[in-house]
Amino acid sequence: MAGSLFTIEYFSCPSCALPYSATKEEQPTKRSGSFACEVCGSLVHAWSGNYDFFDWQVDKADVPEFGKRWAGTR
């Protein structure tokens, strides 16, 4: 829906804990769908209503860079 509001939602696979993000967008008509984990095939999220989820991606975790100190560490 052009000009509608959208948000980024975060999910984790209930079986293998792989993190995902998806775009949630309001739609003028009711939609339903589901998304399964790319790795283990478990259901990550199912939906029904006036919104849709798309652009599913594995969510990249923040990984410390080698040689950098994190705040609060010595």
What percent of the chain is predicted at pLDDT more than 70? 76
Q: Is residue 31 part of a domain?
A: yes
Q: Is the pLDDT of residue 1 over 50?
A: no
Which residues pair with residue 6 across a beta bridge? 25
**Does 67 or 5 have the greater pLDDT score?**
5
Q: Is residue 72 part of a domain?
A: no
pTM of the model: 0.73
Nearest to 21 by CA among 32, 31, 6: 6
Structure tokens at 49: 């209503």
Tens-digit pLDDT profile for residues 30-60: 999 999 999 999 999 999 999 999 999 998 7
For 35, the domain range is 6-58
Q: Is residue 37 part of a domain?
A: yes
What is the per-residue pLDDT for 59? Answer: 87
Q: Is residue 73 part of a domain?
A: no
